[in-house]
Amino acid sequence: MRPIDLPQATAPADYVVIGAGSAGCALAYRLTEAGRSVTLIEFGGSDVGPFIQMPGALSYPMNMPRYDWGFASQPEPNLNGRRLATPRGKVIGGSSSINGMVFVRGNPEDFEHWAASGATGWDFASVLPYFKRMETWHGEPASDLRGSDGPLHVTRGKRKNPLFNTFIEAGRQAGWPYTPDYNGASQEGFGPMEATIWKGRRWSAANAYLRPALKTGRLTLVRALARRVLFDGRRAIGVELERKGRVEVALAGREVVVAASSINTPKILMQSGIGPAAHLAEHGISVLVDRPGVGENLQDHLEIYMQYKSLKPVTLYSYYNLLGKSRVGVEWLLQKTGLGASNQFESCGFIRSSDAVRYPDIQYHFLPLAVRYDGKSAAKGHGFQAHVGPMRSKSRGTVRLASPDPSAAPEIRFNYMSHADDWAEFRACVRHTRRIFDQPAFAEYRGEEIQPGAGVQTDAQIDAFIREHAESAYHPCGSARMGAADDPMAVVDPELRVIGAEGLRVADSSIFPRITNGNLNAPSIMTGEKAADHILGRVAAPEIERPSQDHAAE
């Protein structure tokens, strides 16, 4: 169907981008910076307000229907049939406006794996220029592996709470190294955590990229639901959208780029006739391109919270009441300082589950409070916790259409813990974490173990705890993976072009062949940066021959 036959067809921009999230904002900025015109479609609303802009309020926006799509998995058979929340940003800035603001590039070996999997030109040396270009790093000392003049500010918390450095020291006492910069020469070890926070505010993709792009005058931001991509033959020529109850069309003079998240991107592709033919036929959707990989390869990080009571009243529990939260909020509103100016993830660790593992496969976020990530419940009294989970689960899931209605949520099945190795890796997480907290550094603070609890010791007991208490770290990816053009399960080629279509690309975390080590915001933004250069035909030269070396066993 040609868009000229539909109502409210706009004058074409050079590019139409679906999704003003982490990658979409970066992509739009670089395209407009290069003189191209862009129509950016975003269903969510404004990111203005303290719930998003105040880092300390991070537990609120991801649980607010105003800012979150409200997705949940189908019942997970290996997690006692629980439906796990799958927050995705429905707001300007996408998930960068509701996430925990943690900044992790991933391990260099992640990108070597990408390249070996058919994503030619996405090895670490090839993505490093984009990681550097996107950031202004405020750490010390200066490093030629870090950027100094990019739009995304990356900072470190002040670690005023004594528990932050205690966690780092405990990791060292347990036998792991101190790593001064896990985004630099070596990821493995314990050290300060980095965040997209600048001058006390969340420095989202909207603040870093979207607002500068709007100032160019070449970006049109359209608040609407993207229903499907429109084609002339197999060439994408625009996007059908719904705005205020009316169907409209945004025309693309050159290309359409889908950057709608690892959940909504495969959904939009399938709504547009690109996906597994039999599945599309079930929903009465005409097949344009039969790509069985669309919606496959879905991955995520699971984690558990290892919690302990604190013997000293040094935790954030003192502020976990109405008066305390009010004081924190007022200080932030007036000065952009204090506890509200931090996400409270200020120290971390990356370790290997065993000496047989080549590079880190376990990540720690330390928090000086015993509380759920969603903020709904806190342990009574002072406590602290580590979020810990394996980084490279072999379990794979799917995103499928639940209905041909473009406004309907898709069916999300992660198939968490469906591989035997996942259980062994999680047991290692529990035992390594106990060893860390048992170190002398924690002696003056460590009270009894709140959870899993001292009575949880055997493999069977640990497994039962995981089934009931493991939670998503909110890092879904991989559902439209990148690979060689002749790979039948790949969805996009290394230029991010949708295989079998023309004038259509994907640029978000759905293209990841395999999940990276750590939080996904940084590699998602990098994807948007690199996608822009592929579109503009100016891909940066690789910077180094080999990735930096971790403390790896050979």
Which residues participate in the annotated binding site for FAD? 91, 99-102
Contact at 8 Å (CB) between 498 and 289? yes
DSSP 208: I
Cross-strand pairs, 319: none
H-type helices in 47-140, by residue range?
50-53, 108-116, 124-134
Closest-CA residue to 250 (of 266, 274, 229, 273): 229
Contact at 8 Å (CB) between 21 and 68? no
- Other beta carbons within 10 angstroms of residue 110's beta carbon come to 26
Q: Is 339 exposed, middle or buried (0-12, 13-18, 19+ CB in 10 A)?
A: buried
Q: Could you tell me which residues are annotated as the binding site?
A: 91, 99-102
Contact at 8 Å (CB) between 233 and 52? no
Residue with tokens 């060292």: 172
Contact at 8 Å (CB) between 254 and 505? no
DSSP-assigned letters across all residues of 131-192: HHHHEEE--SS--TTS-BS-SEEEEE----SHHHHHHHHHHHHTTPPB-S-TTTT---EEEE
Mapping DSSP onto H, E and C, the string for 408-458 reads CCCEEECCCCCCHHHHHHHHHHHHHHHHHHCCHHHCCCEEEEEECCCCCCC
Which token pair is 246? 């009316």
Q: Which one from 432, 475, 534, 551 is the annotated catalytic residue?
A: 475
Is residue 475 among the annotated active site residues? yes
Residue with tokens 């900025």: 29
Active site residues: 475
